């Protein structure tokens, strides 16, 4: 990793490797803020963005287990306001053209991103809808920002989008509790995750440990910024998006990765039965494919090519093993500021790489992630039966 910093691939990075019980490797290199030269520490706080989706999926599965949440329930049965949206098929001048949905999205469709919801970052049509209708973005913190149309008919295709934000609203409506309270009460507190937050701006000590987001410049260098989930001036959001609101340290988020390795148990804490956890490592979208994900905002994200990958009830899964990389049917995901993790149950190992950079899916950062994954997999080969 040090060489990656020296050649400018990243301004800094934290890497962690663990088995179900212990941390096997933890290292930080580079700077947390290029403006001050503050070194990046292993207890640095990162905006983990869409890594939040794992926490929300686990929370949902605990509520399924308790009989509070039904995966087959139509979303509109819990949130009637969800059922009124159509499917964006194009524009007539500035006016959006919408068609009626042929079926209603279920809670399961939210978990598998087959609800038809999209993100304006990765869908040009939806980005145009936001611009022409002056619909605020997620950074506004306004509940109204979710009032966009679908971009596909439910269940007919995979579209990465705001499904988990809507799932958070479902969980709040069913329980009468905020997503912040639910995550802490049912996940973070039992697992001892004291360095994970949904809202950090009131915690000066945590802010002082937070890595600044560095933006890639045209010359290949990095510029440290004040970028955050929230637009400047947002004092407190109207809602916390359950798809991307968390801040955490690498070791703190590791508790969730180890929970997966342990089949729903970490240490003495049993959070879920094994079969519920198995659903996070299983193809949840059938014959559909995650596929190519174009960008509508190159400053925020490069395009993603995930052809051949599947999505479970909350994670990206690889049905085919690629040489030198994670085992088949491993699972993981990423955050929009180039943080990445995976859980390899075959090897009994989990690992993560944290940076604080934009755009997401930056080729140089991806190259570092690939090198890191190959090194981890080489150090932890799959055990084979040596008996004749």
Comparing CA positions, the residue from 140, 49, 128, 118 lying closest to residue 90 is 128
Q: Strand pairing partners for 134?
A: none
C-alpha angle 332-336-341 in degrees, rounded to nearest 5: 25
Exposure string (b/e) for 71-91, b if CB count within 10 Å is 16 or more? beebbbebeeebeebebbeee
Burial level of 251, CB count in 10 A (0-12/13-18/19+)? middle
Q: Is the dihedral of CA 305, 309, 312, 316 positive or negative?
A: negative
Active site residue 50: yes
3 is catalytic: no
Distance CA 105, CA 69 (A): 15
- Residue of 115, 119, 160, 247 with catalytic role: 160
The residues, ordered by sequence, that sit 6+ positions from 307 with a Cβ below 8 Å of its Cβ are: 289, 290, 291, 292
Chain position carrying tokens 């560095």? 214
How many CB atoms neighbour CB 67 within 10 A? Answer: 7
* Structural tokens at position 130: 């936001």
311: nearest Cα among 336, 340, 280: 280
Q: Known catalytic residues?
A: 50, 53, 160
């Amino acid at each position: 990793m040090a060489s990656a910093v020296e050649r400018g691939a990243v301004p800094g990075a934290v890497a962690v490797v663990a088995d179900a019980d212990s941390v096997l490797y933890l290292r930080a290199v580079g700077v947390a803020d290029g403006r001050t030269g503050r070194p990046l520490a292993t207890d640095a706080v990162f905006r983990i963005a869409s890594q939040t989706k794992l926490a929300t999926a686990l929370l949902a599965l605990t509520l399924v287990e308790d009989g509070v949440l039904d995966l087959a329930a139509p979303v509109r049965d819990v949130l009637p306001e969800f059922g009124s949206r159509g499917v964006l098929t194009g524009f007539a001048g500035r006016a959006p053209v919408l068609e009626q949905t042929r079926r209603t999205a279920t809670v399961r469709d939210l978990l598998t991103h087959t609800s038809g919801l999209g993100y304006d970052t990765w869908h040009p049509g939806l980005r145009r809808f936001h611009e022409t209708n002056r619909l605020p973005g997620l950074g506004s913190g306004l509940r109204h920002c979710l009032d966009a149309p679908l971009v596909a008919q439910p269940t007919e295709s995979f579209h990465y989008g705001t499904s988990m934000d809507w799932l958070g609203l479902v969980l709040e409506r069913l329980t009468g509790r905020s997503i912040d309270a639910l995550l802490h009460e049912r996940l973070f507190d039992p697992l001892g995750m004291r360095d994970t937050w949904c809202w950090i701006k009131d915690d000066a000590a945590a802010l002082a440990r937070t890595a600044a987001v560095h933006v890639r410049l045209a010359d290949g260098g990095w510029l440290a910024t004040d970028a955050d989930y929230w637009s400047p001036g947002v004092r407190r959001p109207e809602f916390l998006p359950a798809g991307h609101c968390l801040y955490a340290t690498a070791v703190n988020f590791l508790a969730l990765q180890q929970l997966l390795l342990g089949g729903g148990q970490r240490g003495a804490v049993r959070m879920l039965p094994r079969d519920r956890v198995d659903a996070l490592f299983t193809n949840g979208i059938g014959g559909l494919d995650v596929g190519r994900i174009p960008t509508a905002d190159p400053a925020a994200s490069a395009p993603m090519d995930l052809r051949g990958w599947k999505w479970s009830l909350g994670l990206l899964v690889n049905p085919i093993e690629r040489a030198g990389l994670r085992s088949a049917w491993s699972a993981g995901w990423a955050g929009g500021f180039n943080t990445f993790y995976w859980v390899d149950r075959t090897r009994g190992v989990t690992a993560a790489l944290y940076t604080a950079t934009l755009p997401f899916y930056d080729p140089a950062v991806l190259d570092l992630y690939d090198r890191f994954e190959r090194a981890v997999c080489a150090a932890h080969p799959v055990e084979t039966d040596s008996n004749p």
